[in-house]
Amino acid sequence: MVEITPAELEAAQKIFGDRLDLATRYVEHLATSGTERGLIGPREIPRLWGRHVLNCAVIESEIPPNSHVADVGSGAGLPGLCLAIARPDLKLTLIEPLERRVIWLQEVVDDLGLDNVTILRTRAELAAGQVTADVVTARAVSALNKLAGLTIPLLGGKGEVVAIKGRSAAEEIEKAAKVIRKLGGVETSVVVVGQELLEEPTTVVRIIVNKPGKIS
C-alpha cells in the first residue's frame, strides 16, 4: 500500500470523489508493475500521490465537460489516466508510441474498467488526422516550442492545449510564441492550478487555438 498523507488524502477525496478507490488502485499499479517495467522510478514510489497523481489530476478543473481529450506521450498514464478516473464524463485518447507502455496502459485500463479510454500506439506527429480532440494534454514530453507542433495539430484547428509545465513555463512560452501563432494559437497563458488543494500547485501552460476559417 502506497502511503498517502492526510493532506493528500483530503485533496484526493475532493478531486476523485466516489472514484477514489479507482485512483488508489491506479497508484498501486504504478508502484508495482509500473515500477517493475520501468515506467516509474523506484524512488518515486513515496511521492506517487503528491508529485505525480494529484499533480496531474488537479488539471481536471481546466477541462470543459464532456470533452474529448488527447493525452500526448501518455507513458504511465500521467495525466491521461488521472483525468479518466477523476472525470468519467471525459473521453480520453492516450497516445503512446512504445509498445511496452501501451501494453501496461491497456492492462490498467482493463483492470480499472475505464470505458472512457482508448489507447493509440503511435507517435503524436502521426496521430493528426486519426485523432481530433477538444483538448490536448501533455506532461514531461518536450519543450513547448517542440510540444506545440505535437499537440496543436490534434485539435483540428480549434480547441485548447493544457500542458503541465514547471517553473520555466513563462520562458518556454516566450521561445515558442512564433511557432504557436503559426499553428493557430491565439492566446497563451500560464495558469496555476490546485493552490487550495496541493502543497505544491500545478503549473499549466494553456494555449487557445482557433485557426482562421474555424467557427468560434
Domain ranges across the chain: 6-210
- pLDDT digits over 107-144, tens only? 999 999 999 999 999 999 999 989 999 999 999 778 89
SS3 214: coil
Whether the bond between 79 and the residue before it is cis, its omega within 30 degrees of 0, is yes
Q: What is the pLDDT of residue 147?
A: 94
- The identity of residue 20, as a single letter, is L
- Helix, strand, coil share (%) of the chain residues, nearest 5: 50, 20, 30
Q: What is the pLDDT of residue 167?
A: 85
Buried b (16+ CB within 10 A) or exposed e, 190-206: eeebbeebbeeebbbbb
Q: Among candidates 161, 216, 153, 163, which has minimal Cα distance to 193?
A: 163
Q: What is the pLDDT of residue 129?
A: 87
pLDDT beneath 70: ranges in the chain: 213-216
Look-up: residue for cell 517542440?
Answer: 146
What gap in Å lies between CA 54 and CA 206, rounded to an integer?
19
Helices in 47-134 by DSSP H: which ranges? 54-57, 80-86, 99-112, 124-127
Q: Among candidates 204, 138, 200, which has minimal Cα distance to 11?
A: 200
Q: What is the pLDDT of residue 55?
A: 96
- The identity of residue 47, as a single letter, is R
Q: What is the pLDDT of residue 214?
A: 58
- Per the DSSP assignment, residues forming a β-bridge with 205 are 163, 190
CATH superfamily of 6-210: Vaccinia Virus protein VP39 (3.40.50.150)
